[in-house]
Structures are given as structure tokens and as C-alpha cells.
Amino acid sequence: MATREWNPGELLEISGFFWKTCVLQAAVKLDVFTVIGDGRPTAGEIAQKVDGAVNGVERLLNALVAMELLAKTDDKYTNTPSGKALLAKDSSKYLGHIIMHHHHLLESWSKLDQAVKSGKPQRTRSSFSKEEWRESFLMGMFNMAMGLAPRIVPAIDVSSRQHLLDLGGGPGTYAIHFCLSNDALKATVYDLPTTRPFAERTIQQFKLADRINFMDGNYLEDPVAGRYDVAWLSHILHGEGPADCRMIIQKTVDALEPGGMIIIHDFILNNSMDGPLFPALFSLNMLLGTESGQAYSEEQITDMLAAAGARDIRRIAIQSPNDSGIIVGYV
Ligand SMILES: C[S@@+](CC[C@H](N)C(=O)[O-])C[C@H]1O[C@@H](n2cnc3c(N)ncnc32)[C@H](O)[C@@H]1O
């Protein structure tokens, strides 16, 4: 591969990109896009509504205009159509939860050097952190999965399946989309008890409470009760070390009927562990946030599945914005 040539401008763009990150996150945190709504308020009017200092709010708004996230005419600010659709709380496409989750990761990322030196996390695991952070994490997962599930679920054939286990299913977004794709399918979302209210709310929102139930459990400590003919493990392996991943996969395989299908969805590295970019960065995010989590390669996941007795293991081709991938096996 040809060596990339860098110029100072490109390097400084990477180094300073967090300024833009912070502008977006502050605007979401202060709920600027919802406050503006369909109106044309001045900086002073917005400052009053967000309980901010006019000199600060005005500069934030002007930076948002410069970033083309807002528009400004005659000292009045308006939402752009996409800004309103994606960043105002009353929109069904609201991405604020995942943006706030990213905001909560910032402090730990600023200590990446310390994590690299010590090999130790620099924050509490999102699943076990305080309520407000857990909500952004879990509903952030909903934000992400709502974008991806309608695209990847059709690529996976569950048409002959009857009971899906969504292990570490969070708010249940994938269980919901699998059930929407197959009227005969029931699903069980298995997750920590603290996740239950979020999952139940989401399942209710899609009117699927008669087909999707929530099971409290800790997959590191508890058994996986019930029998299933398909299991979906999305973005859970990266939170655990290799030994726990093997144990989780074994528990799942043991809960499957003969002929059952196990599907792993995660940020999958290539076998030399140095790309694609997002999984490589995500592995650092797991260094910062977990005791032993990491991104795994296709070879590592395949080996874990084979060790648990899965066969016919193969990768399903999907297009995903963050280079997530899918590996399936059968028992
Ligand atoms: C990154 S989220 C993925 C959520 C969902 N599968 C998705 O792809 O949108 C990881 C999920 O695993 C759950 N989880 C983490 N540790 C767990 C454990 N020990 N037992 C059960 N669930 C756990 C978290 O609560 C969270 O819902």
C-alpha cells in the first residue's frame, strides 16, 4: 500500500476537530435545536430559554451557523431542515441520545495516554454508570440501531425461525426489527434489570409487547434460560475479554435448538487488527471503558464460534457506516 503523505493542515484538522465536536454536543445538551423549533428567535431570546449568558449563546449560535447546522438572517436564527429532523427532541429521528453518550465519553478519551500506559479503563462502564448516562447510552444504541436495523435485518434470513434470543439486546431495537420482518417470530430481549424500562418502553412504542418479552439477566453470571432457534448478539462481545466472550457464546449455543442459528454483529477488525478505522478506534474506546473489552477480528470471532460447536460459519456482507459486520453459524 502506498504511504500516505500528510500536510500540516490535515494533521491540525485532526488535532483540533474536538472544537466542532464540543460545539455540537453543547448545542444538543442545551437543547438549542428544540428551542428554535420552527421559529426565528434572536440570540437573546434563545439565551433566555436555555438559561445562558447572551455573549456565550450568541457565539455558540454563530459557530453553529458557520458549521451549517443553523441558518441566520437579520440576527435571527433558524433550524436547517436536517438539523431540525436530527437534532430537535420532538423529531422521531432525534440523534441527541447518542450525541450525549459521545459527550459522556469525552473526558475519558482525553486521558487516552493514561489508559495506554496503565492498560486500565478511565471511566465507569456505560451499562453500570449513573442513570442519566445509562439512558443516553441505551437510547443512543436505539438511535444507532434505528438507522441500521432496517438495512441489515433484510440481509439475514430468519423467515423460518420462531423464537429469537436478543442477548444484551438493550432497548430491543433489533428484536423489534426482526419481529417486524417475520410475523411468526417471537423474541426475548435478555439484558441487565436496569435496562428493562427502556426496552419495555421501546417494545410498547412498536406495539410488540405480545411478541417480545424482556428477561432480566447478567450473561457473565446467570444462565440463559429458555430455548431458541435463533440468537442475535449485537455489540456485546466487544465489552468483554476473550474468555468471557467464549463463555457467553457457549451459553448461547447451549440455549439453541439443533439447527439453531447464532448471529454475531460487532465492529469487526481485519485479521491483522489494524483496520478498518472505526473498529480500530472502537477498540481504544473499550480500553477506556472496560476492564478487558476490545474489538475482535473475523478470525477471532470465527474461532470462538467454532470452539462452542457452531458450524457453517460465514460472514454476511452488509454495508454499515461504522464498518460493523455480521458473522453467522449454526448448531
Ligand atoms: C452496546 S449495547 C448493545 C445493545 C444492542 N444489542 C444493540 O446492538 O443495539 C450492550 C448491551 O449489553 C448489555 N450488557 C452489558 N453487560 C451485560 C451483562 N453482563 N449481562 C447482560 N447484559 C449486559 C448492556 O446493558 C447493553 O444493553
For ligand 1, mutation pick of 127, 216, 221, 222 (most atoms within 8 Å of CB)? 127
- For 314, other C-beta atoms within 10 Å of its C-beta total 11
- How far CA 176 is from CA of 92, 127, 218, 265, in Å, comes to 16, 21, 21, 16
- CA Rg, the chain, in Å? 22
Nearest Cα to 29, choosing from 126, 102, 83, 137?
102
Instruction: Determine the 3-state secondary structure of 286 from DSSP.
Output: helix
Give the pLDDT confidence score for residue 212 in this predicted structure: 98
For ligand 1, mutation pick of 192, 195, 245 (most atoms within 8 Å of CB)? 192
pLDDT in tens, the chain (331 residues): 689 999 999 999 999 999 999 999 999 999 999 999 999 999 999 999 999 999 999 999 999 999 999 999 999 999 999 999 999 999 999 999 999 999 999 999 999 999 999 999 999 998 888 999 999 999 999 999 999 999 999 999 999 999 999 999 999 999 999 999 999 999 999 999 999 999 999 999 999 999 999 999 999 999 999 999 999 999 999 999 999 999 999 999 999 999 999 999 999 999 999 999 999 999 999 999 999 999 999 999 999 999 999 999 999 999 888 889 999 999 9
Phi, psi of 323 (to 5 degrees): 55, 40
> Hey, what's the torsion of the CAs at 170, 196, 292, 111, to 10 degrees?
80
Measured CA to CA, the distance from residue 280 to residue 272 in angstroms comes to 11
Measured CA to CA, the distance from residue 25 to residue 12 in angstroms comes to 21
Measured CA to CA, the distance from residue 177 to residue 146 in angstroms comes to 9
Is 261 buried (19+), middle (13-18) or exposed (0-12) by CB count in 10 A?
Answer: buried
- Tell me, what amino acid is at 9? G
Residue 107: its H or E element = helix 96-109
Give the pLDDT confidence score for residue 50 in this predicted structure: 98
Task: Give the pocket of ligand 1 (CB within 6 Å).
Answer: 127, 138, 141, 145, 168-170, 173-174, 191-192, 195, 217-220, 234-236, 239
Q: Whose CA is nearest to atom 17 of ligand 1?
A: 218
- C-alpha of residue 170 to centroid of ligand 1, in Å: 5
For ligand 1, mutation pick of 102, 191, 219 (most atoms within 8 Å of CB)? 191
Closest ligand 1 atom, CA of 141? 9
Give the pLDDT confidence score for residue 157 in this predicted structure: 95
Instruction: Determine the 3-state secondary structure of 203 from DSSP.
Output: helix
Cell numbers standing for residue 81: 431542515
